[in-house]
Chain A
Amino acid sequence: MGCKAIGGRYDPGNRAHRLARSACVTTVSLAGLVLVWWFLSVAIDRQMLPSPPEVWDALADLFANGDSMTGRSAWTYIGSSFSTFIKGFLLAFAVAFPLGLALGYFNLLREFASPAFEVLRPIAPVAWAPVFVILFGYQIGPMMVVFVGIFFPLMTSVIFGVRKIEPNWTDAAKTLGASPLQIFCKVVVPASIPYLMNGVKVGLGIGWMCIVSAELYASPVGGIGFYISNQASAGYWPGVFSGIFLVGVLGIATVGAADYLHRSLSKRMGVDAS
Protein backbone atom coordinates (compact mmCIF):
# COMPACT_ATOMS: atom_id res chain seq x y z
CA MET A 1 0.00 0.00 0.00
CA GLY A 2 0.93 3.64 -0.34
CA CYS A 3 1.70 4.03 3.34
CA LYS A 4 4.34 1.34 3.36
CA ALA A 5 6.18 2.78 0.38
CA ILE A 6 7.28 5.81 2.42
CA GLY A 7 10.00 4.12 4.43
CA GLY A 8 9.81 0.37 4.86
CA ARG A 9 8.04 -0.66 8.04
CA TYR A 10 5.62 1.61 9.90
CA ASP A 11 7.27 3.06 12.98
CA PRO A 12 4.81 4.51 15.54
CA GLY A 13 7.65 6.43 17.18
CA ASN A 14 8.36 8.41 14.02
CA ARG A 15 6.39 11.63 13.66
CA ALA A 16 6.53 11.64 9.86
CA HIS A 17 5.29 8.05 9.81
CA ARG A 18 2.43 8.87 12.15
CA LEU A 19 1.39 11.87 10.08
CA ALA A 20 1.59 9.92 6.81
CA ARG A 21 -0.38 7.09 8.34
CA SER A 22 -3.14 9.35 9.64
CA ALA A 23 -3.26 11.14 6.26
CA CYS A 24 -3.69 7.77 4.52
CA VAL A 25 -6.38 6.65 6.94
CA THR A 26 -8.27 9.93 6.61
CA THR A 27 -8.09 9.82 2.82
CA VAL A 28 -9.39 6.26 2.71
CA SER A 29 -12.21 7.11 5.11
CA LEU A 30 -13.32 10.19 3.16
CA ALA A 31 -12.99 8.39 -0.18
CA GLY A 32 -15.24 5.67 1.27
CA LEU A 33 -17.82 8.29 2.23
CA VAL A 34 -17.81 9.79 -1.27
CA LEU A 35 -18.10 6.33 -2.84
CA VAL A 36 -21.07 5.37 -0.67
CA TRP A 37 -22.72 8.69 -1.50
CA TRP A 38 -22.02 8.20 -5.18
CA PHE A 39 -23.41 4.70 -5.12
CA LEU A 40 -26.56 5.82 -3.32
CA SER A 41 -27.12 8.74 -5.69
CA VAL A 42 -26.94 6.37 -8.66
CA ALA A 43 -28.98 3.61 -6.98
CA ILE A 44 -31.74 5.85 -5.68
CA ASP A 45 -31.65 8.12 -8.70
CA ARG A 46 -33.78 10.93 -7.31
CA GLN A 47 -32.96 14.54 -7.94
CA MET A 48 -32.90 15.23 -4.16
CA LEU A 49 -29.72 13.18 -3.97
CA PRO A 50 -27.29 14.55 -6.56
CA SER A 51 -24.03 12.77 -7.32
CA PRO A 52 -20.66 14.05 -6.04
CA PRO A 53 -19.57 15.58 -9.40
CA GLU A 54 -22.81 17.58 -9.67
CA VAL A 55 -22.34 18.94 -6.16
CA TRP A 56 -18.70 19.70 -6.84
CA ASP A 57 -19.69 21.71 -9.91
CA ALA A 58 -22.32 23.61 -7.93
CA LEU A 59 -19.77 24.35 -5.21
CA ALA A 60 -17.16 25.55 -7.73
CA ASP A 61 -19.80 27.72 -9.35
CA LEU A 62 -20.81 29.17 -5.98
CA PHE A 63 -17.23 30.18 -5.24
CA ALA A 64 -16.51 31.43 -8.77
CA ASN A 65 -19.72 33.32 -9.55
CA GLY A 66 -21.58 33.64 -6.27
CA ASP A 67 -25.22 32.73 -5.63
CA SER A 68 -27.13 33.51 -8.81
CA MET A 69 -30.41 33.85 -6.85
CA THR A 70 -29.25 36.51 -4.44
CA GLY A 71 -26.07 37.76 -6.03
CA ARG A 72 -24.15 37.14 -2.80
CA SER A 73 -20.75 35.46 -2.85
CA ALA A 74 -19.85 32.25 -1.03
CA TRP A 75 -17.67 34.26 1.34
CA THR A 76 -20.58 36.49 2.31
CA TYR A 77 -22.51 33.44 3.45
CA ILE A 78 -19.55 31.95 5.27
CA GLY A 79 -18.69 35.29 6.85
CA SER A 80 -22.27 35.86 7.95
CA SER A 81 -22.53 32.42 9.58
CA PHE A 82 -19.17 32.77 11.27
CA SER A 83 -19.83 36.21 12.63
CA THR A 84 -23.14 35.09 14.16
CA PHE A 85 -21.40 32.03 15.50
CA ILE A 86 -18.51 33.95 17.08
CA LYS A 87 -20.82 36.54 18.63
CA GLY A 88 -23.01 33.82 20.12
CA PHE A 89 -19.96 32.07 21.45
CA LEU A 90 -18.47 35.18 23.02
CA LEU A 91 -21.76 36.02 24.69
CA ALA A 92 -22.07 32.46 26.04
CA PHE A 93 -18.49 32.60 27.27
CA ALA A 94 -19.00 35.94 28.98
CA VAL A 95 -22.06 34.65 30.84
CA ALA A 96 -21.27 30.96 31.42
CA PHE A 97 -17.74 31.33 32.80
CA PRO A 98 -18.48 33.70 35.69
CA LEU A 99 -21.83 32.04 36.35
CA GLY A 100 -20.22 28.59 36.36
CA LEU A 101 -17.54 29.80 38.77
CA ALA A 102 -20.15 31.26 41.10
CA LEU A 103 -22.40 28.19 40.97
CA GLY A 104 -19.45 25.89 41.49
CA TYR A 105 -18.12 27.89 44.42
CA PHE A 106 -21.31 28.74 46.31
CA ASN A 107 -23.16 25.56 47.16
CA LEU A 108 -26.38 27.23 48.22
CA LEU A 109 -26.57 29.17 44.96
CA ARG A 110 -26.04 26.00 42.99
CA GLU A 111 -28.71 24.11 44.91
CA PHE A 112 -31.26 26.77 44.09
CA ALA A 113 -30.21 27.20 40.46
CA SER A 114 -29.81 23.53 39.52
CA PRO A 115 -33.45 22.48 39.16
CA ALA A 116 -34.19 25.45 36.90
CA PHE A 117 -31.17 24.79 34.70
CA GLU A 118 -31.87 21.07 34.59
CA VAL A 119 -35.31 21.77 33.13
CA LEU A 120 -33.94 24.15 30.50
CA ARG A 121 -30.88 22.15 29.54
CA PRO A 122 -32.43 19.21 27.64
CA ILE A 123 -34.38 21.56 25.34
CA ALA A 124 -32.80 21.48 21.89
CA PRO A 125 -31.43 25.00 21.27
CA VAL A 126 -33.12 25.11 17.87
CA ALA A 127 -36.49 24.83 19.56
CA TRP A 128 -35.95 28.42 20.65
CA ALA A 129 -35.21 29.61 17.11
CA PRO A 130 -38.77 30.66 16.13
CA VAL A 131 -39.19 32.48 19.43
CA PHE A 132 -35.82 34.20 19.32
CA VAL A 133 -36.14 35.24 15.69
CA ILE A 134 -39.37 37.04 16.43
CA LEU A 135 -38.28 38.29 19.83
CA PHE A 136 -34.81 39.52 18.85
CA GLY A 137 -35.08 39.84 15.09
CA TYR A 138 -33.23 38.15 12.27
CA GLN A 139 -29.83 39.53 13.27
CA ILE A 140 -29.78 38.67 16.97
CA GLY A 141 -32.13 35.66 16.95
CA PRO A 142 -29.74 33.07 15.47
CA MET A 143 -26.99 34.40 17.68
CA MET A 144 -29.14 33.70 20.73
CA VAL A 145 -29.72 30.12 19.54
CA VAL A 146 -25.95 29.65 19.36
CA PHE A 147 -25.71 31.23 22.80
CA VAL A 148 -28.12 28.70 24.28
CA GLY A 149 -26.32 25.83 22.54
CA ILE A 150 -22.89 26.79 23.90
CA PHE A 151 -24.00 28.13 27.25
CA PHE A 152 -25.01 24.87 28.91
CA PRO A 153 -22.00 22.67 28.11
CA LEU A 154 -19.72 25.56 29.02
CA MET A 155 -21.37 26.32 32.33
CA THR A 156 -21.66 22.66 33.29
CA SER A 157 -17.95 22.11 32.62
CA VAL A 158 -16.93 25.10 34.70
CA ILE A 159 -19.13 24.04 37.62
CA PHE A 160 -17.68 20.56 37.40
CA GLY A 161 -14.16 21.98 37.25
CA VAL A 162 -14.63 24.17 40.31
CA ARG A 163 -16.07 21.29 42.31
CA LYS A 164 -13.26 18.95 41.26
CA ILE A 165 -10.51 21.22 42.56
CA GLU A 166 -8.03 19.38 44.76
CA PRO A 167 -8.93 20.22 48.38
CA ASN A 168 -5.19 20.20 49.07
CA TRP A 169 -4.70 23.12 46.67
CA THR A 170 -7.08 25.31 48.62
CA ASP A 171 -5.69 24.01 51.92
CA ALA A 172 -2.15 24.81 50.79
CA ALA A 173 -3.25 28.31 49.76
CA LYS A 174 -4.91 28.83 53.16
CA THR A 175 -1.79 27.80 55.06
CA LEU A 176 0.19 30.23 52.89
CA GLY A 177 -2.04 33.04 54.13
CA ALA A 178 -4.40 33.47 51.17
CA SER A 179 -7.77 35.13 51.81
CA PRO A 180 -10.97 33.60 50.40
CA LEU A 181 -10.93 36.12 47.56
CA GLN A 182 -7.30 35.35 46.78
CA ILE A 183 -8.06 31.63 46.83
CA PHE A 184 -10.85 32.23 44.37
CA CYS A 185 -8.71 34.33 42.00
CA LYS A 186 -5.42 32.50 42.29
CA VAL A 187 -6.54 28.89 42.76
CA VAL A 188 -10.16 28.32 41.78
CA VAL A 189 -10.10 30.29 38.52
CA PRO A 190 -6.82 28.93 37.10
CA ALA A 191 -7.63 25.39 38.25
CA SER A 192 -10.94 25.48 36.40
CA ILE A 193 -9.50 26.67 33.08
CA PRO A 194 -8.79 23.21 31.64
CA TYR A 195 -12.41 22.30 32.35
CA LEU A 196 -13.55 25.56 30.81
CA MET A 197 -11.59 24.67 27.67
CA ASN A 198 -13.20 21.26 27.61
CA GLY A 199 -16.57 23.01 27.70
CA VAL A 200 -15.44 25.32 24.89
CA LYS A 201 -14.51 22.30 22.80
CA VAL A 202 -17.87 20.63 23.29
CA GLY A 203 -19.74 23.94 23.02
CA LEU A 204 -18.20 24.94 19.71
CA GLY A 205 -19.32 21.67 18.13
CA ILE A 206 -22.87 22.13 19.38
CA GLY A 207 -22.88 25.85 18.52
CA TRP A 208 -21.94 25.14 14.95
CA MET A 209 -24.87 22.76 14.61
CA CYS A 210 -27.13 25.44 16.10
CA ILE A 211 -26.11 28.24 13.80
CA VAL A 212 -26.99 26.44 10.60
CA SER A 213 -30.33 25.19 11.85
CA ALA A 214 -31.19 28.59 13.30
CA GLU A 215 -30.42 30.21 9.97
CA LEU A 216 -32.93 27.96 8.28
CA TYR A 217 -35.54 30.04 10.13
CA ALA A 218 -33.88 33.41 9.82
CA SER A 219 -34.22 33.69 6.08
CA PRO A 220 -33.38 37.18 4.88
CA VAL A 221 -30.06 37.77 6.57
CA GLY A 222 -28.88 34.21 7.11
CA GLY A 223 -25.57 32.67 6.21
CA ILE A 224 -25.01 29.16 4.95
CA GLY A 225 -28.22 27.91 6.55
CA PHE A 226 -30.16 30.44 4.56
CA TYR A 227 -28.34 29.46 1.37
CA ILE A 228 -29.32 25.83 1.93
CA SER A 229 -32.99 26.56 2.56
CA ASN A 230 -33.10 29.01 -0.33
CA GLN A 231 -31.61 26.49 -2.74
CA ALA A 232 -34.02 23.84 -1.48
CA SER A 233 -37.06 26.03 -2.04
CA ALA A 234 -35.79 26.66 -5.57
CA GLY A 235 -35.43 22.90 -6.01
CA TYR A 236 -31.75 23.10 -6.94
CA TRP A 237 -30.40 20.12 -5.02
CA PRO A 238 -26.72 20.28 -5.99
CA GLY A 239 -26.82 23.78 -4.46
CA VAL A 240 -28.33 22.39 -1.24
CA PHE A 241 -25.61 19.78 -1.03
CA SER A 242 -22.84 22.25 -1.71
CA GLY A 243 -24.15 24.16 1.32
CA ILE A 244 -24.24 21.00 3.43
CA PHE A 245 -20.71 20.22 2.29
CA LEU A 246 -19.54 23.67 3.40
CA VAL A 247 -21.16 23.22 6.81
CA GLY A 248 -19.28 19.95 7.27
CA VAL A 249 -15.89 21.30 6.27
CA LEU A 250 -16.18 24.46 8.33
CA GLY A 251 -17.45 22.39 11.27
CA ILE A 252 -14.35 20.20 11.18
CA ALA A 253 -12.16 23.30 11.04
CA THR A 254 -13.93 24.84 14.06
CA VAL A 255 -13.77 21.72 16.18
CA GLY A 256 -10.17 21.14 15.16
CA ALA A 257 -9.21 24.66 16.22
CA ALA A 258 -11.05 24.25 19.52
CA ASP A 259 -9.35 20.93 20.14
CA TYR A 260 -5.94 22.47 19.52
CA LEU A 261 -6.72 25.35 21.85
CA HIS A 262 -7.93 22.95 24.54
CA ARG A 263 -4.83 20.81 24.40
CA SER A 264 -2.32 23.64 24.35
CA LEU A 265 -4.04 25.51 27.17
CA SER A 266 -4.43 22.43 29.33
CA LYS A 267 -0.76 21.76 28.88
CA ARG A 268 0.03 25.32 29.88
CA MET A 269 -2.08 24.99 32.99
CA GLY A 270 -0.21 21.79 33.82
CA VAL A 271 -3.26 19.55 33.69
CA ASP A 272 -3.78 16.53 31.48
CA ALA A 273 -6.12 17.21 28.62
CA SER A 274 -8.72 14.51 28.48
Chain B
Amino acid sequence: MKRAAPVAKAPRFGEERGVQIVIDGLGKTYRREDRETEVIEGFSLEIRRGELISFVGPSGCGKTTLLKLIAGLIPPSSGAVYIDGRLCAEPGADRGMVFQDFALFPWRSVRKNVEFGLEVAGVPRADRRERAERYLRLVGLEKFADSRVSELSGGMKQRVAIARALVVGPDVILMDEPFGALDAQTRNIMQNQLTDILASTDQTIIFITHSVDEAIFLSDRVVVQTKRPMRIKEIVEIPWERPRDRSSMEFVELRKRILSELEKENVMDV
Protein backbone atom coordinates (compact mmCIF):
# COMPACT_ATOMS: atom_id res chain seq x y z
CA MET B 1 0.00 0.00 0.00
CA LYS B 2 1.27 3.39 -0.88
CA ARG B 3 0.93 6.08 1.74
CA ALA B 4 -0.97 8.82 0.02
CA ALA B 5 1.10 11.89 0.32
CA PRO B 6 -0.81 14.31 -1.92
CA VAL B 7 -1.30 11.97 -4.76
CA ALA B 8 1.76 11.70 -6.94
CA LYS B 9 0.69 12.51 -10.46
CA ALA B 10 2.27 11.78 -13.76
CA PRO B 11 4.96 14.30 -14.65
CA ARG B 12 3.42 17.67 -14.33
CA PHE B 13 5.05 19.35 -17.22
CA GLY B 14 5.74 18.58 -20.80
CA GLU B 15 2.67 16.57 -21.73
CA GLU B 16 -0.06 17.86 -23.98
CA ARG B 17 -2.91 19.41 -22.02
CA GLY B 18 -6.30 20.73 -22.90
CA VAL B 19 -7.69 24.17 -22.27
CA GLN B 20 -9.20 24.53 -18.79
CA ILE B 21 -9.80 28.21 -18.28
CA VAL B 22 -11.14 30.59 -20.87
CA ILE B 23 -10.90 34.31 -20.23
CA ASP B 24 -13.21 35.88 -22.76
CA GLY B 25 -13.08 39.59 -23.48
CA LEU B 26 -12.71 40.50 -19.83
CA GLY B 27 -12.93 44.19 -19.00
CA LYS B 28 -12.99 46.20 -15.80
CA THR B 29 -13.66 49.88 -15.43
CA TYR B 30 -13.60 51.62 -12.08
CA ARG B 31 -15.78 54.64 -11.61
CA ARG B 32 -14.66 57.04 -8.92
CA GLU B 33 -15.94 60.57 -8.56
CA ASP B 34 -17.10 60.74 -12.15
CA ARG B 35 -13.75 59.61 -13.44
CA GLU B 36 -13.58 56.32 -15.21
CA THR B 37 -10.44 54.26 -15.06
CA GLU B 38 -10.23 51.44 -17.51
CA VAL B 39 -8.02 48.88 -15.80
CA ILE B 40 -8.52 45.95 -18.12
CA GLU B 41 -10.05 45.97 -21.57
CA GLY B 42 -10.98 43.14 -23.88
CA PHE B 43 -8.65 40.68 -22.21
CA SER B 44 -8.80 37.17 -23.69
CA LEU B 45 -6.62 34.19 -22.92
CA GLU B 46 -6.84 30.42 -22.75
CA ILE B 47 -5.12 28.67 -19.87
CA ARG B 48 -4.24 24.97 -20.07
CA ARG B 49 -5.02 22.42 -17.43
CA GLY B 50 -2.21 22.00 -14.92
CA GLU B 51 0.06 24.69 -16.26
CA LEU B 52 1.75 27.38 -14.24
CA ILE B 53 1.17 30.62 -16.03
CA SER B 54 2.53 33.86 -14.69
CA PHE B 55 1.72 37.46 -15.42
CA VAL B 56 4.40 40.10 -15.29
CA GLY B 57 3.81 43.74 -16.00
CA PRO B 58 4.49 47.24 -14.86
CA SER B 59 3.22 47.89 -11.36
CA GLY B 60 -0.32 49.17 -11.21
CA CYS B 61 -1.14 47.61 -14.58
CA GLY B 62 -4.12 45.71 -13.20
CA LYS B 63 -2.65 42.29 -12.53
CA THR B 64 -4.32 41.99 -9.14
CA THR B 65 -7.61 43.16 -10.64
CA LEU B 66 -7.35 40.38 -13.22
CA LEU B 67 -6.80 37.83 -10.49
CA LYS B 68 -9.75 39.09 -8.44
CA LEU B 69 -11.93 38.94 -11.53
CA ILE B 70 -10.96 35.31 -12.09
CA ALA B 71 -11.57 34.60 -8.39
CA GLY B 72 -15.00 36.18 -8.70
CA LEU B 73 -14.25 38.61 -5.88
CA ILE B 74 -15.17 41.58 -8.07
CA PRO B 75 -17.63 41.61 -10.96
CA PRO B 76 -16.31 42.32 -14.46
CA SER B 77 -17.60 45.30 -16.44
CA SER B 78 -17.62 43.14 -19.54
CA GLY B 79 -16.65 39.64 -20.62
CA ALA B 80 -16.47 36.51 -18.49
CA VAL B 81 -14.27 33.74 -17.13
CA TYR B 82 -15.09 30.05 -17.67
CA ILE B 83 -13.51 27.04 -16.00
CA ASP B 84 -14.23 23.77 -17.77
CA GLY B 85 -17.12 25.53 -19.44
CA ARG B 86 -18.64 26.77 -16.17
CA LEU B 87 -19.13 30.49 -15.79
CA CYS B 88 -17.24 31.88 -12.78
CA ALA B 89 -19.21 34.83 -11.50
CA GLU B 90 -19.06 34.18 -7.75
CA PRO B 91 -16.07 33.22 -5.60
CA GLY B 92 -15.86 29.53 -4.78
CA ALA B 93 -13.64 26.84 -3.38
CA ASP B 94 -12.75 25.70 -6.91
CA ARG B 95 -10.47 28.74 -7.19
CA GLY B 96 -8.11 29.04 -4.23
CA MET B 97 -6.18 32.21 -3.63
CA VAL B 98 -2.84 33.02 -2.02
CA PHE B 99 -2.26 36.63 -1.04
CA GLN B 100 0.88 38.73 -0.85
CA ASP B 101 0.24 39.54 2.82
CA PHE B 102 -0.74 35.89 3.51
CA ALA B 103 -4.22 36.84 4.82
CA LEU B 104 -4.04 34.17 7.51
CA PHE B 105 -6.51 34.36 10.36
CA PRO B 106 -4.42 35.43 13.37
CA TRP B 107 -6.95 34.12 15.91
CA ARG B 108 -6.61 30.59 14.58
CA SER B 109 -3.71 28.21 15.05
CA VAL B 110 -1.76 27.05 12.00
CA ARG B 111 -3.81 23.84 11.88
CA LYS B 112 -7.10 25.69 12.23
CA ASN B 113 -6.11 28.03 9.42
CA VAL B 114 -5.48 25.10 7.11
CA GLU B 115 -8.74 23.48 8.21
CA PHE B 116 -10.83 26.58 7.49
CA GLY B 117 -11.96 25.61 3.99
CA LEU B 118 -12.83 22.07 5.12
CA GLU B 119 -14.69 23.43 8.13
CA VAL B 120 -16.96 25.66 6.06
CA ALA B 121 -17.55 22.75 3.67
CA GLY B 122 -18.78 20.66 6.60
CA VAL B 123 -16.03 18.02 6.50
CA PRO B 124 -16.13 15.93 9.72
CA ARG B 125 -13.54 16.80 12.37
CA ALA B 126 -11.38 13.68 12.14
CA ASP B 127 -11.23 13.83 8.37
CA ARG B 128 -10.45 17.53 8.50
CA ARG B 129 -7.60 16.98 10.85
CA GLU B 130 -6.13 14.17 8.80
CA ARG B 131 -6.23 16.18 5.58
CA ALA B 132 -4.79 19.29 7.22
CA GLU B 133 -1.95 17.20 8.65
CA ARG B 134 -1.19 15.84 5.21
CA TYR B 135 -0.89 19.27 3.64
CA LEU B 136 1.07 20.66 6.57
CA ARG B 137 3.51 17.82 5.98
CA LEU B 138 3.61 18.71 2.29
CA VAL B 139 4.72 22.26 3.10
CA GLY B 140 7.03 21.01 5.88
CA LEU B 141 5.18 22.60 8.79
CA GLU B 142 3.74 19.57 10.59
CA LYS B 143 5.74 20.50 13.70
CA PHE B 144 4.07 23.90 13.81
CA ALA B 145 0.48 22.72 13.58
CA ASP B 146 -0.44 24.09 16.99
CA SER B 147 1.61 27.29 16.76
CA ARG B 148 0.09 30.70 16.55
CA VAL B 149 0.39 32.41 13.19
CA SER B 150 2.22 35.34 14.78
CA GLU B 151 5.02 33.01 15.86
CA LEU B 152 5.92 32.09 12.27
CA SER B 153 8.34 33.77 9.87
CA GLY B 154 7.07 35.28 6.62
CA GLY B 155 8.11 32.28 4.56
CA MET B 156 6.39 29.89 6.96
CA LYS B 157 3.24 31.98 6.93
CA GLN B 158 3.08 31.80 3.17
CA ARG B 159 3.52 28.03 3.29
CA VAL B 160 0.56 27.84 5.66
CA ALA B 161 -1.45 29.95 3.23
CA ILE B 162 -0.47 27.65 0.35
CA ALA B 163 -1.48 24.58 2.39
CA ARG B 164 -4.76 26.30 3.28
CA ALA B 165 -5.48 26.91 -0.41
CA LEU B 166 -4.42 23.41 -1.54
CA VAL B 167 -6.26 21.41 1.12
CA VAL B 168 -9.72 22.06 -0.31
CA GLY B 169 -8.60 20.65 -3.65
CA PRO B 170 -9.28 23.60 -5.95
CA ASP B 171 -8.98 23.33 -9.73
CA VAL B 172 -6.99 26.51 -9.88
CA ILE B 173 -4.79 28.42 -7.47
CA LEU B 174 -4.47 32.15 -7.91
CA MET B 175 -1.30 33.57 -6.43
CA ASP B 176 -1.05 37.32 -6.05
CA GLU B 177 2.64 38.13 -5.64
CA PRO B 178 2.87 35.43 -3.00
CA PHE B 179 6.55 35.97 -2.32
CA GLY B 180 6.54 39.75 -2.72
CA ALA B 181 6.67 40.38 1.02
CA LEU B 182 9.63 38.06 1.59
CA ASP B 183 13.34 38.85 1.58
CA ALA B 184 15.37 37.78 -1.47
CA GLN B 185 16.86 34.69 0.14
CA THR B 186 13.58 33.36 1.53
CA ARG B 187 12.03 34.13 -1.80
CA ASN B 188 14.45 31.85 -3.66
CA ILE B 189 13.90 29.08 -1.13
CA MET B 190 10.14 29.46 -1.47
CA GLN B 191 10.37 29.30 -5.26
CA ASN B 192 12.22 26.00 -5.00
CA GLN B 193 9.74 24.66 -2.48
CA LEU B 194 6.81 25.74 -4.59
CA THR B 195 8.29 23.83 -7.53
CA ASP B 196 8.52 20.73 -5.30
CA ILE B 197 5.03 21.15 -3.87
CA LEU B 198 3.47 21.64 -7.27
CA ALA B 199 5.23 18.59 -8.67
CA SER B 200 3.00 16.48 -6.45
CA THR B 201 -0.28 18.26 -7.14
CA ASP B 202 -2.19 18.83 -10.35
CA GLN B 203 -3.59 22.30 -9.89
CA THR B 204 -3.41 24.98 -12.49
CA ILE B 205 -1.55 27.95 -11.09
CA ILE B 206 -2.07 31.53 -12.11
CA PHE B 207 0.83 33.45 -10.69
CA ILE B 208 1.31 37.17 -10.49
CA THR B 209 4.70 38.67 -9.86
CA HIS B 210 6.86 41.73 -10.27
CA SER B 211 9.91 39.59 -10.63
CA VAL B 212 10.80 38.47 -14.14
CA ASP B 213 13.37 36.16 -12.61
CA GLU B 214 10.71 34.46 -10.52
CA ALA B 215 8.34 34.18 -13.47
CA ILE B 216 10.96 32.48 -15.67
CA PHE B 217 12.08 30.20 -12.84
CA LEU B 218 8.57 28.91 -12.14
CA SER B 219 6.38 29.17 -15.20
CA ASP B 220 5.36 27.13 -18.20
CA ARG B 221 4.26 30.36 -19.80
CA VAL B 222 4.97 33.98 -18.96
CA VAL B 223 2.45 36.59 -20.04
CA VAL B 224 4.00 40.01 -20.43
CA GLN B 225 1.50 42.81 -19.95
CA THR B 226 1.20 46.38 -21.05
CA LYS B 227 0.36 49.33 -18.89
CA ARG B 228 -3.26 50.38 -18.31
CA PRO B 229 -5.56 49.38 -19.78
CA MET B 230 -3.92 46.02 -19.42
CA ARG B 231 -3.40 44.04 -22.59
CA ILE B 232 -1.17 41.13 -23.50
CA LYS B 233 2.09 42.26 -25.01
CA GLU B 234 3.66 38.89 -25.44
CA ILE B 235 3.33 35.29 -24.27
CA VAL B 236 6.60 33.46 -23.72
CA GLU B 237 6.63 29.65 -23.65
CA ILE B 238 9.23 28.16 -21.32
CA PRO B 239 9.49 24.42 -21.95
CA TRP B 240 12.64 23.94 -19.85
CA GLU B 241 13.30 21.19 -17.30
CA ARG B 242 12.93 21.96 -13.60
CA PRO B 243 14.60 22.93 -11.35
CA ARG B 244 15.93 25.66 -13.57
CA ASP B 245 19.34 27.22 -13.47
CA ARG B 246 19.10 30.97 -13.03
CA SER B 247 22.65 31.46 -14.22
CA SER B 248 22.30 29.52 -17.47
CA MET B 249 22.77 31.41 -20.72
CA GLU B 250 19.23 30.97 -21.96
CA PHE B 251 17.75 32.03 -18.57
CA VAL B 252 19.80 35.20 -18.47
CA GLU B 253 19.06 36.00 -22.12
CA LEU B 254 15.33 35.55 -21.69
CA ARG B 255 15.28 37.64 -18.53
CA LYS B 256 17.11 40.42 -20.30
CA ARG B 257 14.67 40.35 -23.19
CA ILE B 258 11.54 40.42 -21.02
CA LEU B 259 12.95 43.13 -18.80
CA SER B 260 13.64 45.37 -21.77
CA GLU B 261 10.08 44.79 -23.02
CA LEU B 262 8.77 45.90 -19.62
CA GLU B 263 11.08 48.86 -19.54
CA LYS B 264 9.60 50.16 -22.78
CA GLU B 265 6.19 49.97 -21.10
CA ASN B 266 7.34 51.93 -18.10
CA VAL B 267 9.08 54.58 -20.17
CA MET B 268 5.98 55.19 -22.24
CA ASP B 269 4.29 57.54 -19.85
CA VAL B 270 6.59 58.24 -16.97
CA A193 – CA B161 in complex, angstroms? 23
Complex contact A171–B168 (CB within 8 A):
no
Contact assessment for B93 and A175 in the assembled complex, using a CB-CB cutoff below 8 Å: yes
Is A168's CB under 8 angstroms from B99's CB? yes
Report Cα–Cα, A215/B3, bound state, in Å: 71
B103 pairs with A168, CB closer than 8 A:
yes
Residues of chain B lying within 8 A (CB to CB) of residue A166: 103
Q: Which residue of B lies closest to A179 (CB)?
A: B120
A120 to B261, CA, bound (A): 61
A228 to chain B, nearest CB (A): 43
Name A175's contact: one of B96, B108, B119, B121 (CB within 8 Å).
B96
Q: Quick check: A268 and B107 within 8 Å, CB to CB?
A: yes
Which residues of A are found within 8 Å of B149, using beta-carbon distances?
270
Instruction: Indicate with 1 or 0, residue by residue over A175-201, a CB within 8 angstroms of chain B CB atoms.
Output: 111110010001100110100000000
- A142-178 toward B: CB 8 Å interface, digit per residue (1/0)? 0000000000000000000000001011011111111
Nearest chain-B residue to A185 (Cβ)?
B120
Within 8 A of A (CB), among B113-160: 116-117, 119-121, 148-150
What's the nearest-Cβ distance from chain B to residue A261, in Å? Answer: 16
Q: Determine whether the beta carbon of B71 is less than 8 Å from that of A175.
A: yes
Question: In the complex the two chains form, what is the Cα distance from A174 to B105 in whole Å?
Answer: 13
Given the complex, which residues of A lie within 8 Å of B92, measured CB to CB?
175, 177
Q: Contact check, B105 vs A176: say whether CB atoms are below 8 A apart.
A: no
Q: Chain A residues near B97 (CB, 8 Å)? A: 171-172, 175
CB distance from A236 to the nearest CB of B (A): 53
Judge whether A269 is part of the interface by a CB distance below 8 angstroms.
Answer: yes
> A271 on the interface (CB 8 Å rule)?
yes
B111: chain A residues at CB < 8 Å are none
> When the two chains form their complex, are residues A169 and B105 in contact, meaning their CB atoms are under 8 A apart?
yes
Q: Whole-angstrom distance between the alpha carbons of A174 and B103 in the complex?
A: 12
Q: How far is the CA of A49 from the CA of B63 in the complex (A)?
A: 72
Interfacial chain B residues near A178, Cβ < 8 Å? 116-117, 120
Which chain A residues lie closer than 8 Å to B72 at the CB level?
174
CA–CA, A177 to B97, complex, Å? 11
Contact A169 B103 (CB under 8 A): yes
| A187 CA to B117 CA, complexed, in Å | 12
**Inter-subunit contact B117/A271 (CB<8 Å):** no
Residue from B96, B120, B148 in contact with A270 in the complex, judged by beta carbons closer than 8 Å: B148
CB distance from A5 to the nearest CB of B (A): 39
Measured between beta carbons, the chain B residues less than 8 angstroms from A177 are 92-93, 117, 120-121, 168
Cross-chain contact A176 with B106 (CB below 8 angstroms)? no
Contact across chains for B106 and A174 when beta carbons are under 8 A apart: no
Task: For B107, give its contact among A173, A176, A269 (CB under 8 Å).
Answer: A269
A187 touches B105 (CB 8 A): yes
A168–B67 CA distance with the chains assembled, in angstroms? 13
With the chains together, A235 CA to B92 CA distance in Å?
73
Inter-chain contact B73/A270, CB cutoff 8 Å: no
Would you call A174 and B120 a contact (CB within 8 A)?
Answer: no
Q: Is B95 an interface residue (CB 8 A)?
A: yes
- Residues 252-274 of chain A: 1 if any B CB is under 8 Å from the residue's CB, otherwise 0? 00000000000000001111000
In the complex, what's the smallest C-beta–C-beta distance from A194 to chain B, in angstroms? 9
In angstroms, Cα B168 to Cα A248, docked, is 55
Assess the B107–A174 pair: CB atoms within 8 A: no
Residue in chain A with minimal CB distance to B90: A174
> Which residues of chain A come closer than 8 Å to B99, judged between CB atoms?
168, 171-172
Partner of B116, one of A171, A176, A271: A176
A170 → B minimal CB distance (Å): 9
Shortest distance from the beta carbon of B111 to any chain A beta carbon, whole Å:
14
Residues of A near B71 (CB, < 8 A) are: 171, 174-175
Query: Which B residues are within 8 Å of any A CB, using their own CB?
Result: 68, 71-73, 91-93, 95-97, 99, 101, 103-108, 116-117, 119-121, 148-150, 161, 164-165, 168, 174
Extra contacts besides A172-B104, A186-B119, A269-B106 (5): CB < 8 Å: A171-B97, A175-B174, A178-B120, A270-B108, A270-B148
Shortest beta-carbon contacts, A-B, top 5 = A270-B106, A177-B93, A176-B117, A168-B103, A174-B91
Point out residues on A near B: beta carbons under 8 Å. 166, 168-169, 171-179, 182, 186-187, 190-191, 193, 268-271
